[in-house]
A = this chain, B = another copy of it.
Amino acid sequence: MNDFPTFLADVRPAIEDSLDRLLPKATAPPARLHEALRYSTFAGGKRVRPALVVLAGETLGARRERLLPGGAALEMIHTYSLIHDDLPSLDDDDLRRGRPTAHRRYDEATAILAGDSLLTLGLTILATHPAAAPPEQRRRAVEMTGAAIGTLGMIGGQVDDLAAENDWPEDAAAALDAIHRRKTGALLTACLRLGGIYADVDEERDGVLTALGVRIGMMFQIADDILDVEGTDGTLGKTAGKDAAARKLTYPGLHGLDESKRMLARTRDEALELAGVLPSGGGLLPSFVHYLSRRDH
């Protein structure tokens, strides 16, 4: 196995299995709510985040079965953020990966509560799994993730992104970076760092993972913005050109398409350098970085 797509295909069944075992059964009451959790979690996502937890953790010496529950927890937290972001009062999206969003498939109340449930469940899983890990490790997992997704992290990025829709901030380029470092980057960084926590890395290595995560988050967002310009509804599974229509602050909107592609390449090179510092040259992490920079899948 020498590239990320092969690794992803290999690890994905175990991730799906982990999610299936950790989510409440759809038949258990409250059944409609539990069904909604599963509807949104099993919506055809590529499972990049849990794969990153496993990839980082394995590269740093942890065993796969120790990494899977934490990976599933971060995928649930990612799903919560998508459900809430799609709500009418936020991004107001009807489609996600080609299917009706949670509030369209169910109703708004169910979508709000399903998001709340996934957030609660995700953090609780981090505190309780793996049962054999030292309590200190599980405590650090909650602490690190809680900070990454809170008001100074993911939620803060979403708030500023919504605010920027109405009123572009003065230094738009800095604001755009700051928004996405938190909105997209904070959770991706948490994936790498969580792998590190389960592998008991020291502070210095945690710092490398953080710096790498920031670059990966940026690449993710720039690639996503480019796709929104160049893609079609079919390749996106959502409404194409929506960002431009909403006058959203985006990389191509602000820097142009060509410069955005150059920024993507520069960030890729920084990420490759950081990954190279890790044991075994970062394992498949460089391949993941290349995968991101060619993102049209």
Contact = CB atoms under 8 A, between A and B. Distances in A.
The copy count of this chain in the complex is: 2
Contacts of A121: 146, 150-151
Contacts of A123: 120, 123-124, 142, 146
Interface residues of A, number: 48
Interface in A15-57: 24, 29-30, 32-34, 37
A139 B135 contact: yes
A125 B253 CA distance: 39
Contact of A33 (B30, B136, B147, B159): B159
Interface in A81-102: 84, 87, 89-90
A116 B113 contact: no
Interface in A154-198: 155-156, 158-160, 162-163
A181 to B, nearest CB: 13
Contact of A32 (B87, B109, B139, B159): B159
6 contacts: A30-B156, A89-B107, A116-B155, A119-B119, A121-B146, A128-B146
